[in-house]
Amino acid sequence: MLNRQRAAVSGTSAPRLRAARPTSPHHQRTLRVSGTSAPRLRAARGTVLLMFPAALMVMVILGAIVVDVGYTTIRGRELRAVAASAANDSLAALDIVELRTTGRKVIDEAAARRTVAEAIAAGPLPDARIVAVVIDRFEIAVTLALDLELVMAPALGDLRQVTLVRTERAAVVT
């Protein structure tokens, strides 16, 4: 009562007191960890020892998948960038003399293929293979392939190598 009067004077509310919950002997028995009162806990003892190796194996397999998918994705992006760069460089095969004299856009196919091969040899992925260089009036499409040796997948199965194929295009705009 005295706390409530002080709270009324100071303008704050008095702290509430909670009654302690009565606990039954049954409730106390099921909370004990050791002893004879917890038979279901004793039956589950050692389960973690069996589950840990399986969980560890699953985590290792998932980690291997993540490593190989990440590696393949990064190399695929690099291959796409090299193909785009080679396609843009091959636009240098446009016959400027023909364009200035007649106004026609003519691309020298042999020069374009040579430029693509030089761009790939000097680029970050010299192992990339030229699959196709397609010249269609005002557009050059470069298709490259790259064989990748996987890092973790050979330990899990027969998959040792994948081949990435990427195509990029460049167009003549005047």
Residue 133 falls inside a structural domain: yes
Q: Is residue 14 part of a domain?
A: no
Question: pLDDT (tens digit, 9 = 90+) per residue, 54-102?
Answer: 899 999 889 988 999 999 999 999 999 999 999 999 988 888 888 788 8
| 140, part of any domain | yes
* Residue 10 domain flag: no
The reply to whether 1 falls in a domain is: no
pLDDT bracket for residue 50 (50, 70, 90):
confident
Question: Is residue 77 assigned to a domain?
Answer: yes
Domain range for 159 is 47-171
Is residue 108 a part of any domain in this protein?
Answer: yes
| Count of domains forming the chain | 1
Whether 42 maps to a domain, the answer reads no
Contacts with 23 (C-beta within 8 Å, 6 or more apart), sequence order: none
Strand ranges (E), the chain: 129-136, 139-149, 161-171
